[in-house]
Structure 1
Amino acid sequence: MTSWSDRIDEVWADASGEEVGDEIIARIDALAAERGEDDGRAEFERAGARDSAGRPEEAVELYRRALELGLDEDHRSQAIVQLASSLRNLGRFDEALALIEGERERAGAGPYRDAIAAVHALTLASAGRPAEGLSVALLALVPHLPRYHRSMTAYAREIADADT
C-alpha cells in the first residue's frame, strides 16, 4: 500500500502545471481527514491547497493551526515560508516580516534559507522598502556566485541603506 505522504505527493504532482482548484482541495482534504483534524501535517497540506488555489485568508488560519499542532522540522520551515507569503499577499507586511525574520534567525543555513530570503525580499518590496528587499535578494545570491563575494556583499549592504 502507498504511504500517506506518497499519496499527498501524487496529488501535488497531478496539480503541477495547472491551476489548483476545488478538485485538488477536495483530494487533499480527503487525505487529511484520514489523519484527523489534530494532525499538524494534515492541516499543513490543507493550508497549502488553499494557498495554491489563491485563498490566502483560509490558508493563514490553517498554517497557524498546523504550527500550533506541531510539524517536523522540514514542514515547519515550509509552513513559516508559506504563511509569511500568504500574509504578504494579504497586505499584512509587519506580521509577515516578523515571521520570516524570526525564521531566518532560527533556520540559519538550513535548506530553506534561499526560500526564506526570497519571501523576505518580496515582503520588504511590497511593504515599500524595495532597496532593502533587493539587498536581501542579493545577499542570498552571493554564496551561489563563482566570484565577487566581497564586492557584491558590500554593494548589497550599501543598497539597503537607500530605504532608511
Structure 2
Amino acid sequence: MKTWDERIEEVWDAAAGTLVDDEVIVRIDAIAAERGTADARAEFERAGARDSAGRPDEAIPLYRRALEIGLDAEHEPQAIIQLASSLRNVGATDEAVALLAKAHQDAADSPYRDAIAAFYALALASSGAPRHGLSVALLALVPHLPRYHRSVTAYAREIVERDT
C-alpha cells in the first residue's frame, strides 16, 4: 500500500506538464482529507492544487493556515515561496516582498535559498524596485559563477545602493 506522500506525489506526477484542473483539486482534497484541516501538510497540498489551477485567492488562506500550523523544513520554504508568489499575482506585492525579504534573510543554509532569491527578485520588480530585484538575483547567481565573484558582487551591491 502506498504512503500518503506517495499518493500525493502520484497526483502531482500525473499533472506534470499540464494545466491543473478541478479533477486534480478533487484528488488532492480527497487525500488531504485523510489528515484533516488541522494538518499543515494537508493544507499546503490543498493550497498548491488551487494555486496550480490559477486560483490564488483560494490558495492564499490555505498557505497561511499551513504556515500557522507549522510545516517541516522541506515544506515551509516552499509554502513561503508559493504564498508570496500568489500574493504577488493578486497585487499584494508589499506583503510578498516583506515575506520573501525575511525568508531571504533566514535562508543562508537552506537548499531553497536560490528559489527564495528568485521569487524575492520577482516581487521586488513587481513592487517597483527592479534594480533591487536585479541585485538580489545577481547575488544569488554569484556562487554559481566559475569566476568574477568579487566583481559581480560589487556591481550587484552598487546597483541596489543607487536605489537607496
TM over 0.5: yes
Superposition TM-score tier, normalisation by shorter sequence: over 0.9
Compute the TM-score of the two structures, normalised by the length of structure 1: 0.97
1:20-99 maps to which residues of 2 (within 5 A)?
20-99=20-99
Percent identity among equivalent residues?
69
Matches of 2:123 and 2:104 in 1, distance apart? 14
Instruction: Report if the CA contact (8 A) 1:130-1:163 is conserved.
Output: no
Task: Tell me which residue corresponds to 1:9.
Answer: 9
1:141 Cα offset (Å): 0.4
Task: Tell me which residue corresponds to 2:118.
Answer: 118
Matches of 1:104 and 1:132 in 2, distance apart? 13
Matches of 2:126 and 2:107 in 1, distance apart? 23
SS in 2 for 1:37: coil
Task: Tell me which residue corresponds to 2:102.
Answer: 102
1:97 Cα offset (Å): 1.1
1:163 Cα offset (Å): 2.8
Matches of 1:75 and 1:147 in 2, distance apart? 33
1:161 Cα offset (Å): 2.7
> What residue ranges of structure 1 are gaps of 5+ in the alignment?
none
Moved over 3 A (4+): none
CA deviation vs aligned residue, 1:13-39 (integer Å, no higher than 9, x gap) = 011000011111111000001111111
> What residue ranges of structure 2 are gaps of 5+ in the alignment?
none
Compute the TM-score of the two structures, normalised by the length of structure 2: 0.97
Matches of 2:29 and 2:73 in 1, distance apart? 22
Aligned residue pairs: how many?
164
